[in-house]
Chain A
Amino acid sequence: MAPGLEPILELRGVQKFFEGRQVLKDINLLVAPGETLVIIGGSGCGKSTLLRTVIGEHAPDAGHVYLWGEDACCASARALDRLRRRFGILFQSGALYSSMTVGENVALPLREHTDLDERIIQMVVKMKLELVGLRDFEDLMPAQISGGMRKRVGLARAIALDPEILFYDEPTAGLDPIATSVIDQLVIDLRNKLGVTSVVVTHDMKSAFRIADRVAMLYNGEFIAVGPPRDFLDCRDPRVRQFVEGLADGPIPLRVSKTDYLADLLGFPPAQT
């Protein structure tokens, strides 16, 4: 990070447990304004948990999350709401409100948090939908559009209030290559033209290297490598190499089950060794 630049997001010693299992182990992270940080990692490595901790969906069991220098973990409900108005989130499924049309979904944050005139709101809705290429779909219900389109509407909704920082949970999973490029280009444009900071959780390597200023790889609840994409490609850590190159063989096991396969299959008690 350039000296003198206040980080927009900072994680200090964040830990999270679920039912006694440690999902996040001492996570430390700084995100500078205008930066696009991509967090990569296999399924179940704690990526989504990390994202949910950052957005205040659940509190960390230890450590702190600072947004614009303010401790989000200890903030009052009102202070947290004030912070939340400054960021946007794209959920993995899009998380559109199923009882509202596409247009109403995008308009909701504007109606709730601004005093804008209805005509202006309609105009903003059209502009945001145009950015994701879905301007003509305003009057459809979420159930009437495809999963990929729902995700794009979710993005239009996330940027409705022109947030300063955007969180993306798997923005391109399940999208066709063209829609993926559209989303990637949008992330890049938001950074270049409006200086929006982005934190993207993904396992789409192509997309990650296209948009990232910095890539961080999460493995077993901790960052094992953080750096610019170019450094990542040269990284010698076999776990990073395996993930980046998408190899079946390597230090990261495909199977995560810990019990003895034969004993489990045949119902024997675990073999004594």
Chain B
Amino acid sequence: MSGAPFTRLLERVGSQGEGLLAYFGGLGYLTLDMLRHLAVGLVVRPRIKADETFFQMVRLGVRAVPIIGLVQLFVGMTLSFTLAPVLEDYGQLDQLATVIAKAVFPQLGPLIASIVLTGFAGAAIAAELGTMVVGEEVAALRTSAIHPIRFLVVPRVIACVLMTLALTVLANVVGTVGGGVVAVGILDIDPWQYYHTAVDALLVKDVLTGLIKAAIFGYLIVVVSCYEGLEVSGGAGGVGRATTSSVVRSIFLIIAANCVFTALFYFFW
């Protein structure tokens, strides 16, 4: 390709933009297809694969329980250590539980739970579906009139969204407890006082916005990884690339979506 540097820049921006549009178009198309199959599976002909969905929930979510618990415990403890000096300066140390609960329930709980889950579920889904594409398994499904979206994507979407919600609840509780461990053990705050302050501080909105975001993050993880997996081409290398990019893109989209939804909730709720 030749031409002035400006033209080349324009060409590059154009082609990147086109790729980005195609990517989001693909995600949107997959979402529509998935919703159609979900609706058909739930309403018209009840044939959502309950056992497959349950299997995926265990596989994708349950294994992430210990690591999410540990990560959130550390995050909560770190929060306590970071905020305690500031609050002490203002003579507001007894409000530590308020700040921690307000940080964890709407923000850190859903965010950390879904980012850790991206590593578990997102990578696993992309690698599995990618391997199935390479091994012609997806082609075999399609040509046996078994729709891959209904058979493969729908159970994973249900499993991943439900598990992100469940793990967010866990992350919320453990994160607040982690803050409490430092508050009680080191800062000499009464455990009951910590508990009651946290419960009083939390509004329904804090909990609900966190859970709504968790469901959205869970969906982002699963739609990106399914898309990356099903679009694999080029053998083992392609599977590796899909796995990596599904994790990177999911995390980016989760953080971006978190910003957007936090702003929306700030203005409209």
Taking Cβ atoms with an 8 Å cutoff, the residues of A that contact B are 55-57, 80-82, 84-85, 89, 91-93, 95-99, 108-109, 112-113
Query: Smallest Cβ distance from A208 to chain B, in angstroms?
Result: 23
| Minimal beta-carbon separation of B235 from chain A (angstroms) | 13
Out of B128, B131, B139, B151, name the residue touching A91 (CB < 8 Å).
B139
Residue tally, chain B, CB below 8 Å to A: 16
B205 contacts the other chain (CB 8 A)? no
Q: Give the complex CA separation of A85 and B144 in angstroms.
A: 6
- Nearest first, the 10 A-B pairs at minimum CB distance are A95-B136, A95-B140, A81-B145, A84-B145, A85-B145, A91-B136, A55-B143, A112-B146, A89-B143, A109-B144
Our pick among A97, A98, A113 for the contact of B145 (Cβ within 8 Å) is A113
Contact A95 B139 (CB under 8 A): yes
Q: Contact between B143 and A98 (Cβ–Cβ < 8 Å)?
A: no
Across the interface, do B145 and A95 meet the contact criterion of CB distance under 8 Å? no
A57 close to B139 (CB less than 8 A)? yes
Q: Which residue of A lies closest to B131 (CB)?
A: A98
Q: How many Å lie between the Cα of A98 and that of B131 in the bound state? A: 9
B125 CB, min distance to chain A CBs, angstroms: 12
Which residue on A lies nearest to B142, using beta carbons? A57
Tell me which residues across on chain B come within 8 A of A96, comparing CB atoms.
Answer: 137
A57 to B142, CA, bound (A): 8
- A84–B132 alpha-carbon span in the complex (Å): 20
Is B85 part of the binding interface, using a Cβ–Cβ cutoff of 8 Å? Answer: no
Q: How many A-B residue pairs have CB under 8 A?
A: 47
- In Å, the complex CA distance between A23 and B93 comes to 75
Note all chain B residues with C-beta closer than 8 A to A91: 136, 139-140
| List of A residues within 8 angstroms of B135 by Cβ | 93, 95, 98
**Bound-state Cα–Cα, A97 to B142, Å:** 12
Q: Contacts of B145 on A, CB cut-off 8 Å?
A: 80-82, 84-85, 112-113
How long is the Cα–Cα vector from A55 to B143 in the complex, in angstroms?
A: 7
Find the A residue at minimum CB distance from B151. Answer: A112
Q: Besides A92-B136, A98-B135, 18 other CB < 8 A contacts?
A: A57-B139, A57-B143, A81-B147, A89-B140, A89-B143, A91-B136, A93-B135, A95-B136, A95-B139, A97-B132, A98-B131, A98-B132, A98-B137, A99-B128, A108-B144, A108-B146, A112-B145, A112-B146
For A113, the closest partner residue in chain B by CB is B145
Expressed in whole angstroms, the Cα–Cα distance for A92 and B136 within the complex equals 9
Which residues of the partner chain A approach B141 to less than 8 Å between Cβ atoms? 97
Q: Could you say which residues of chain A place their CB within 8 Å of the CB of B140? A: 89, 91, 95, 97
A80 cross-chain contacts in B, Cβ below 8 A: 145
- Which residue in chain B gives the minimum CB-CB distance to A77? B147
Query: B127-179: which residues lie under 8 A (CB-CB) from chain A?
Result: 128, 131-132, 135-137, 139-147, 151
Residues of B within 8 A of A93 (CB): 135-136
Contact with A along B61-85 (1 / 0, CB 8 A): 0000000000000000000000000
B142 contacts across to A, CB distance below 8 A: 57
Whose C-beta in chain A lies nearest to the C-beta of B138? A95
Q: Which residue of B lies closest to A154 (CB)?
A: B140
Determine which of A84, A97, A113 lies in contact with B143 in the assembled complex, contact meaning CB atoms within 8 Å.
A84
Min distance, Cβ A113 to any Cβ of chain B, angstroms: 7
Min Cβ gap B193→A in Å is 51
Within 8 A of A (CB), among B227-241: none
**A80-B146 Cα distance, complex, nearest whole Å:** 11
Instruction: Determine the distance from Cα of A56 to Cα of B132 in the docked complex, in whole angstroms.
Output: 19
Alpha-carbon gap, A101 to B235, bound state (A): 24
Q: For the complex, give the distance between the alpha carbons of A113 and B143 in Å.
A: 13
Nearest chain B CB to A199's CB is how many angstroms away?
13
Q: Which residues of A contact B131 (CB under 8 A)?
A: 98
Which listed residue (B137, B143, B147, B151) contacts A56, Cβ 8 A? B143
* Cα distance A93–B128 in the bound complex, in angstroms: 18
- For B128, the chain A residues whose CB sits under 8 A away are 99
Please report the C-alpha to C-alpha distance between residue A55 and residue B132 in the assembled complex, in whole angstroms.
Answer: 19
What are 11 A-B interface contacts by the 8 Å CB criterion?
A: A55-B143, A57-B139, A57-B143, A85-B144, A95-B139, A96-B137, A97-B132, A98-B131, A98-B132, A109-B146, A112-B151
Give CA–CA (A96, B139) in the complex, Å. 11
Give the residues in chain A near B139, CB-CB below 8 Å. 57, 91, 95
- Residues on the A chain within 8 Å of B147, using CB: 81
A84 to B135, CA, bound (A): 20
A89 to B136, CA, bound (A): 12
Instruction: State the Cβ distance, B50 to closest chain A Cβ, in Å.
Output: 13
